[in-house]
Amino acid sequence: MAVELAKKISLAIEKLEAALDAATGSAGVSLAHDEHLAARVEAYREVARRQKLLAGDLQKAVARRDSREAIRIGKLIEKSSTLMKMDLEHIVSSIRLLKEGELRSAA
């Protein structure tokens, strides 16, 4: 059960990385014009990279049956995910507004 949960966490982190790639790919020009937004997206890429490392550590802790370490790592992943989730909605709306502004100015 715990091994499956650790694998699901790793998969979720991979999906997060793919979503960040997709968001920056579709908003590439917009991000170039908004340094603050681009910096935040890059910060989330780094958080996702670190979460991926933690997920690997989590799988090792589960394999060792070290529940205390597994819980500690799980909480680290959860807290960083919560912080990202709180801000991602704002990032998505900012990208949408930037794209709409670009479309209006191009028309």
Check if the beta carbon of residue 77 is closer than 8 Å to that of residue 51: yes
Which class for 17: exposed (0-12), middle (13-18), buried (19 or more C-beta within 10 A)? Answer: middle
Segments making up each domain of the chain, as ranges: 2-106
Q: Quote the pLDDT of residue 33.
A: 67
CA dist., res. 65 & res. 63, Å (int)? 5
Check if the beta carbon of residue 37 is closer than 8 Å to that of residue 95: yes
pTM higher than 0.85, yes or no?
no
Check if the beta carbon of residue 36 is closer than 8 Å to that of residue 28: no
Paired tokens of 33: 């014009």
- Residue pLDDT, tens place only, 50-107: 998 999 999 999 999 999 999 999 899 888 888 787 777 777 777 777 777 766 676 6
Distances (CA, A) of 6 to 11, 30, 93, 100: 9, 35, 31, 39
